[in-house]
Amino acid sequence: MEKNNMNKKKNINSHSILLLITVGLFILLYAAGYFMYGFGANAKGFEKLQNFLDIFRTNAALICIACGMTCVMLTGGIDISVGSLVAMDCMILSVGMENSGISPTLLVPFVLLIGIVFGAVQGYLIGYLGIQPFIVTMAGMFFARGMTAMICTDQVNITVDNWFKQVAGIKVYMPFELGAVVNKRGVKMVPYVNIPVIIALVVVVLVFLMLRYTRTGRSMYAVGGNQQSAALMGLNTKRTKMITYILSSFLCSIGGVLYCMNTMCGTTTQALGLEMKAISSAVIGGTLLTGGVGNVFGSFVGVLINGTINSLVSFNGELTRLGGTVPNVVSAFLLFVFIMLQAVFAKLRERKQ
Amino acid sequence: MKSVINWLKKVSKKPLFLPLVSVFLVLVINLVYDAIQGNYVFEFLKFELKEGALYGRIIDILNRGSEAAILAIGMTLVVSSSAGTDISVGSVMSLAGSLCCMLLAGFGVTHVRELGELQMPIFVGVIAGIAVAGLCGLFNGFLVAKMKIQPMVATLIFFTAGRAIGLLLTNNKMVYIHLEQFKVFGGKLWIFPTPTVIAAACILVMAIILKTTSLGMYVQSVGINPKASRIAGINSVAIILLCYVICGLFSGVAGIVATSRIYSADSNNIGLNLELDAILAVALGGNSLGGGRFNLAGSIIGAYTIQAITTTMYALGVAKAQAPVYKAIIVILIVVVQSPAVKAYFAHRKAQKEGGLAVAGRS
């Protein structure tokens, strides 16, 4: 018994080491950027607090979606429908507001409801009918992307002035003018974030608390760790799975609203490949695809790492000239490094046991 | 009557039943559509010789479905041996095409119009393209077989990087090779469309390998239980590695075909979402995505079924961007019918019915 407990402790330790590595890598990456583009003579603005906050601003939707993806991956599944669902949400919002003149007060809850229904269908097929998550969510991906085109094939920009647009435009300044700089014209610039960032951060905290302290959250870990043991323990694994997919699609819909606030338009090619960004963020953050291991906070840092890579590449003139695909290569390489680290840790753990 | 039902029951348990039924359904939809439109009823099956090439809807399906069919061969082996999917095939296709065009045209050159402008013989470029795809497969295989990483995560690396590296190789531009000798891979060979011939050759090679060697049996046994197969003396690491290399090589071939079809290296679009089609083909072919037993013929029929669905939808006037909706519905219907829960439900119903009959007979 004693030995078992010790093993458990070691397990937890090696997992928190993965998280520590993620955080460490993020700090290292940011420090590298700081010394390359924010120091002394060749300062280009990377040192500014605003640049750090911009990473949050551009990735607010991805943070939300990565939280949902983490939950799904915890149960050992995968959800590749998220990118298309975001596109569909954006299209519904923009067409609804721009072409049909519907109030966002109705549209936003409608989009969130669509997310829940979408997740419920996927969750039922996966949890109760036992179909592979990959196939079901792939069909969901096709469906949502096709529906986007059915609603409208053109790009629709939101120009109507309503609370949706006003909320998207609100700047939330840092308290106590933290990190304020005076620009060349002598105007004081106070760093700011916008409402989507705050919503995304609230989502991270809520999902974190849910996974840690609620029955549903803990059953997600249990189902992912070992489905049979979870079932023998008396957990309703089917229902847990269904709830997970509902949660993922719901969070994805929130992400869709945030995405729309950032882009203020809807197109059929929007958010292409967002699912893979969410998955890679979760993997970088230490979530195992086999399920049972992971942390929302890790995925959050994973998103930040991806964002920092993009920011670094955009600061480097030569890399930018090579084209927009360089961040992909760099983030693929980082993904490789992380996967290797995970594999090495898994092997070490096996040897210890 | 009873013998017919019994025969149906027996047939429906055959592995190829589902894919063939899908093909049959698509055929019927086409026939009904043509009948309603007042066309020749067998328009779907009609083909003719036009300007020295075969022409017709069925030929179009066989032609357009080639890439998916070639990918499905490799994907079947990967799914069977490692119980996971290789999502990098589309990206690797694009990489193979880009490398081939880059080598032929030289770095930074966007147009090749004459044979003299080529930097090297065409076959060298083609082989290099296929070889680099094989290397990608080797890398994926190493991660999956040796490092024991989940296939989807391991192949996510090349899914992200493959297309991007291709774009770097072509200097972010489309590279055109306006040469008949290069267009031939995506054009026509005598009267047949070359992609179909290449797909047939790939299928034939794989079929011969599976028939003459015990690779197929090894792959299935590794897929069912890697540990037990290792104890039985099968080198499961080598088998999985081999499957990924084969999958990589076939994606290289598919990449060359796709590139030659549009005689240019279009890194952004070649093989886009084709990995999904390939995986779908494997699932439609009646193979479990959980590994183990596989049926190559099913996968290939599955690949052509997907193409038939797509072509039919275009013929029915569905816009290209909207087609995925119907595809999704069809996929869900097929997998729901196949799902264990639904099968168990029907078995239960049948048992109840028979039980009820037995009781009724006794009284």
Q: How many domains does chain A have?
A: 1
Any B CB within 8 A of A120 CB: no
- Could B150 and A289 be called an inter-chain contact, meaning their C-beta atoms sit closer than 8 Å? yes
- A contacts of B319 (beta carbons < 8 Å): 149, 153
Domains in chain B and their CATH numbers? 54-317 (1.10.3470)
The enclosing domain of A88 has a CATH number of 1.10.3470
Cβ <8 Å between B160 and A331: yes
pLDDT value of residue A49: 83
pLDDT of residue B258: 95
Mean pLDDT by 10 residues, chain B (363 residues): 73 71 79 76 72 78 92 95 90 94 88 85 93 96 89 86 88 87 85 92 94 92 90 92 96 95 88 86 82 89 89 82 84 77 80 68 49
- Contact across the interface for B150 and A290, Cβ inside 8 Å: yes
Mean pLDDT across chain A: 85
B153, B325, B339: residue with CB nearest A130: B339
Q: Residue with structure tokens 């076959």?
A: B123
Q: What is the pLDDT of residue B195?
A: 94
Residue ranges in chain A modelled with pLDDT below 70: 1-15, 40-43, 317-324, 346, 349, 353
Domain that residue A254 falls in:
2-352
Condensed to tens digits (0 to 9), the pLDDT of residues A18-73 reads 778 788 888 888 888 888 777 766 667 777 888 888 899 999 999 999 999 999 99
Q: CB–CB of B7/B289 below 8 Å?
A: no
Q: Does A329 touch chain B (CB under 8 A)?
A: yes
DSSP code string of A164-203: HHHHHH-EEEPGGGTT-EE-TTS-EE--EEEHHHHHHHHH
Closest CA to A140 of A158, A114, A163: A114
The answer to whether residue B156 neighbours chain A at the CB level (below 8 Å) is yes
Q: Hey, are the CB atoms on A336 and B157 less than 8 Å from each other?
A: yes
- The answer to whether A322 contacts B323, with C-beta atoms less than 8 Å apart, is no
Interface of B with A in 279-318 (CB under 8 A): 279-280, 283, 289-290
- Residue A202 has φ and ψ, to the nearest 5°, of -60, -40
Q: Which residues of A189-210 are buried (b: 16+ CB within 10 A; e: fewer)?
A: bbbbbbbbbebbbebbeebbeb
Cβ distance of A339 and B323 shorter than 8 Å: no
Question: Between A and B, how many CB-CB pairs are < 8 A?
Answer: 134
Strand pairing partners for A156? A266
Q: What is the pLDDT of residue A140?
A: 93
pLDDT at residue B348, as a whole number: 84
CA distance, residue A151 to nearest chain B CA (Å): 9
State whether B156 and A331 contact (CB < 8 Å).
Answer: no
* Residue found under tokens 């774009």: B167
Tell me the HSE value of B112 on the side-chain side, using a 13 A CA sphere: 29
Q: For the residues of B240-274, what is the DSSP string, one character each? A: HHHHHHHHHHHHHHHHHHHHHHTTEE-TTTTTTTH
pLDDT number for residue B356:
64
Tell me, what's the pLDDT at A154?
87
- Chain B partners within 8 Å of A129 (Cβ): 336, 339-342
**What is residue B257's predicted lDDT score, i.e. its pLDDT?**
95
Per-residue pLDDT at B36? 79
CA of B322 vs chain A CAs: smallest distance (Å): 4
ipTM above 0.85, yes or no: no
Q: Which one of A129, A141, A329 has the shortest CB-CB distance to B339?
A: A129
